[in-house]
Chains A and B, each alone.
Chain A
Amino acid sequence: MSTMKGSSKNLKTAVEAYQWVKASYANAHRAKQEGRPVAWLMFGVPLEIIYTMGVSPLFPENYGTLCAAKRVGYKFCEAAEQDGYNKQLCSYARTVTGHTFHPEVLPDPPSGGLAKPDMLIAPTMICDLRQKWFEDVARRLDVPIFYIGLPDNDATWQTGLPDQYLLDLFVSETKDLIEFLEKTTQKKFNEADFLQRLAWANEAIDLRLEILEARKHVPAPMGSSDYFASIFPGMTMLGTKEAVDFYQRMLAEIKERAENNIGIVPEEKFRLMWSGIPIWFNLGLLNYPEPLGGVMCIEGNYQSLPRERSEDPYIDLAYRYFQKNGSIGVDSQVDLAKQFVQSYQIDGVILSYTQSCRPFYIFQAEVRNHLQDELGIPCLMLESDMADERAYSEGQVRTRMDAFLEVIMKQKGLK
């Protein structure tokens, strides 16, 4: 019998976050009914601008995670494969493609499904597939698409400030994006509103930095299950007052727990880091070590990191984009992993190797190599997929987790 299940959370705010997820899909449906524009976006689009222009945003990548968590994503994947999309392709893309062009597969999809877009916006960073995916959707649905043509951030650590030519491209593309939106929405860009939203976004990011700091506390006041449950506002709602309020509440809750030494388990015995994308159809894995006193207390790849600031709003946005952890180069990810292991006092790392996501698996072997060779940290490489549950062997995963946790406990003298 399957023991795959959702995760249990420790924070009230983590549980609350799901309301925002549902709301975003409902808002888009309402926008369609009321004739307001709906855009399909990806992470990396400057959201302040989207909200300023009154566009209702949808994040198909997130819909991939939602369908996976609801255990229906694979049906859409299958439909896409029957249309000729190779099963090696990103499972978010397969899920959404299957859902969009074969809604008959599941007439009652999660959250009422993805409202059809009036436009698509695809930043050309993180992975090649994003632009191919949106290009394909735009072609099939015959809707306008704007590519934000930004550098990939492949290079290893950028030190100091980004060079002028990088900033110039960023600013130029951002201004072109505004022009595109003015055209498609027939609205003028409201600079004052944008500046207010930029201030809110920066406030939310700063709050998330404080949260990151607060999580260093032993025992850990917040777990990875909380993090992934509450990732949505940080990735999709920057530029709204709601996001600021949300992270204020979250920070307060974490601080209170830290002050009172309320952890994830009654007695915290060992601390683990989750690297890579979570396995959305089995988030319960994030709680798996808890009966043994282990906590999954930090995630290696999704955090905001301190960034340079600028008075110029566009340069400020650019600095946020070019910040050091924006790089998905292998060396950067190795360095980040080492940093996190040390500052969070990590005893072991679980490396999620999600087969259909190249940028997020490509560094895992080297992260493992460096953590093991240089820091003597035990690592477990878990091969799976992030949203296609057909590429997952639960029995195998549990066996390997059990063996890994044995090693950790032996190392800590707990066995």
Chain B
Amino acid sequence: MKSLEKARNMIESRHQRLSEWKEKGGGKVVGEFCKYVPEEMISASGALPVFISGEMDRFQGVDRFLQENTCPYMRSCFSAGIAGDYDYLDALVVTHGCDIMSKMHDFWGKRTKVPEIFLLDFPHKVNEASLVFFREVIERFKQFLESVTGVEITEASLSESIRAYNAFRRTLKAVYDLRRQNPRPVNGTETLTVLLASMLLPIGEADAFLGEFLAEAGSRTDLPPQGVPIMVTGTDVSNLDLFQFLEDSGALIVSDDLCTGSRYFWHPVDENEAPLDALARRYLTNIPCSRTVPSEERYEHIIRVAKVYQAQGVIMPIVDFCDNHMFDAPYVLNRISNSGLPVLPIEVDFTRGGLEQVRPNVETFIEIIAQGE
């Protein structure tokens, strides 16, 4: 598939692409780790939001600041930061996605060259008061973006941005729906590849690019191996090595509850409400991730997404030291089992060697499901 090839190249050369985009058009680039950041606002200021992600086995230079028994995902991102990979960023926005991520505000501020960092104070608890609070937070975020880009964010530009992102969400949903077909014309790694590549593009182009993939999938003849349909839930690490590993072990990933996946497109932003209000509401009340309370909707979503995409099993990768996912793992595992789905937790230390260690677990899980009863 041409779009898939293109996507792989884009990801491979992403830093170069983004630096070139900046030079050519003079646009600004704003990095983020977490999908609680209202990207619509970044786009409305003319800047490009960039999702910073880690790479397996890459931790060079980090030990002096973040010791080994700290989230390997954030360590990996930080390794890229101190190596200068993200020096082209004009700004970074950090949320309290988790205890470690929030500290990146200080770490990246002191130890990387990123010039401006904003701490987006995202509430843990969802209620009326926190909505009022968060509305104020994004007002301040708006001012921050305006000062970084020198561009005024108007109601009109925000509304336009919201419409563009909603369109992208619809296309992404259609891409996910490909895996409700039998046989599945695309698998999880391919979908994630194209999704990650699209996140390197301004939103209009991103939508078009996803559309290309969608169209090619419609006429695809060289289908991927039809592994056992599996849903992925757990630490929100959208990592191609992880997905590839799972699919190499006999799974076909049909859905997920990741923040870059189903929770990205499941609820749109209300286009009828005043834009800043709509953004505050949608982002705060979106299907929660594991650090937000109350949690019931998150648990329901996991089961729902598994069933809607007809998964026959659930795999739960949990990154080392991830308190948020580890703590309710016993409960979530039971809940998934009780819904009639086999579920397998796997530990992820964000190294390829670590994946090899759990390969027997994944292969066994797949073989058991494939055997049937």
User: Residues on A close to B: CB < 8 A?
Assistant: 83-86, 88-90, 93, 124, 127-129, 131-133, 135-136, 139, 147, 149, 151-152, 154-156, 165-166, 168-169, 172-173, 176, 329-331, 353, 355, 358-359, 361-363, 365-366, 369
Residue contact B103 to A136, C-beta cutoff 8 Å: no
Apart from A88-B323, A131-B293, A362-B99, list 17 A-B contacts with CB within 8 A. A84-B329, A128-B124, A128-B323, A128-B324, A132-B290, A149-B123, A149-B129, A154-B102, A155-B119, A156-B105, A168-B132, A329-B102, A330-B103, A361-B67, A365-B64, A365-B65, A366-B65
- Residue B295 is within 8 A (CB to CB) of chain A in the complex: yes
A131 to B327, CA, bound (A): 10
What is the bound-complex CA distance between A205 and B295, given in angstroms?
36
Answer whether residue B130 sits at the interface, using C-beta atoms and an 8 A cutoff.
yes
Identify the stretch in B49-57, B106-114, B239-247 within 8 Å (CB) of chain A at 4 or more residues.
Answer: B106-114
Contacts of B124 in A (CB 8 A): 124, 128, 131, 147, 149, 152
For chain B, residues 43 to 78, give those with C-beta under 8 angstroms from any C-beta of chain A: 64-67, 69-70
Closest B residue to A126 by CB, please name it.
B99
Q: Report whether B327 and A152 are in contact in the complex, using a CB–CB cutoff of 8 Å.
A: no
Closest to A139 in B: B331
When the two chains form their complex, are residues A89 and B99 in contact, meaning their CB atoms are under 8 A apart? no
- Is the Cβ of B67 less than 8 Å from the Cβ of A124? no
A154–B295 Cα distance when bound, in Å, is 23
Shortest A358–chain B CB gap in Å is 5
Question: Counting CB contacts under 8 A, is B258 at the interface?
Answer: no
Q: Mind listing 10 A-B residue pairs with CB under 8 Å?
A: A124-B293, A128-B99, A139-B331, A149-B123, A152-B102, A154-B103, A156-B106, A169-B129, A365-B67, A369-B65
Chain B contacts with A in 305-345, Cβ cutoff 8 A: 318, 320-321, 323-324, 326-331, 333
B293 engages A147 (CB within 8 Å): yes
B107–A168 CB distance below 8 A:
no
Interface residues on B, range: 35 or more
A129, closest chain B residue (CB): B323
Is B105 touching A132 in the complex (CB atoms < 8 A)? no
A83 vs B334: C-alpha distance in the bound complex, in angstroms?
A: 12
Say yes or no: is B153 at the interface (Cβ < 8 Å to chain A). no
Q: Are A331 and B293 in contact (CB under 8 A)?
A: no
Question: Contact between A165 and B109 (Cβ–Cβ < 8 Å)?
Answer: no
Tell me whether B133 and A165 are in contact (CB under 8 A): yes
CB-contact partner of A362 in B70, B133, B136, B291, under 8 A: B70
B321–A358 CB distance below 8 A: yes
The 8 closest A-B pairs by CB, nearest first: A149-B125, A84-B330, A124-B124, A330-B106, A132-B327, A172-B129, A165-B136, A154-B102
Interface contacts (Cβ under 8 Å), in number, total: 133
Residues in chain B near residue A165, CB distance under 8 A: 132-133, 136-137
Residues of A with C-beta under 8 A to B99: 127-129, 358-359, 362
Considering the chains assembled together, what is the distance between the CA atoms of A364 and B241 in angstroms? 31
Rounded to whole Å, the gap between the CB of B351 and the closest CB of chain A is 16
Q: Does B121 interact with chain A (Cβ within 8 Å)?
A: yes
* Closest residue of A by beta carbon distance from B326: A86
Q: How far is the CA of A176 from the CA of B130 in the complex (A)?
A: 12
Q: Which residues of B contact A358 (CB under 8 A)?
A: 70, 99-100, 321, 323
Q: Does B96 sit within 8 A of A, measured CB to CB?
A: yes
- With A and B bound together, what is the CA distance between A169 and B128 in angstroms? 10
CA distance A152 to B133 in the complex (A): 13
Residues of B with C-beta under 8 A to A127: 99, 323
Q: What's the Cα separation between A34 and B38 when bound, in Å?
A: 52
Within 8 Å by CB of A154, from B119, B324, B331, lies B119
Contacts of B192 in A (CB 8 A): none
- Most chain B beta-carbon contacts within 10 A, residue among A90, A361, A365: A365
Q: Does B9 contact A (CB under 8 A)?
A: no
* Smallest CB separation, A60 vs chain B (Å): 14
Identify the closest chain A residue to B66 (Cβ): A365
B288 to chain A, nearest CB (A): 12
Partner of A132, one of B66, B110, B321, B324: B324
Q: Give complex CA distance A353, B326 in Å.
A: 21
Contact A168 B328 (CB under 8 A): no
The answer for the CA separation of A151 and B140 in the assembled complex, in Å, is: 15
Contact residue among B105, B130, B323 (Cβ-Cβ distance under 8 Å from A329): B105
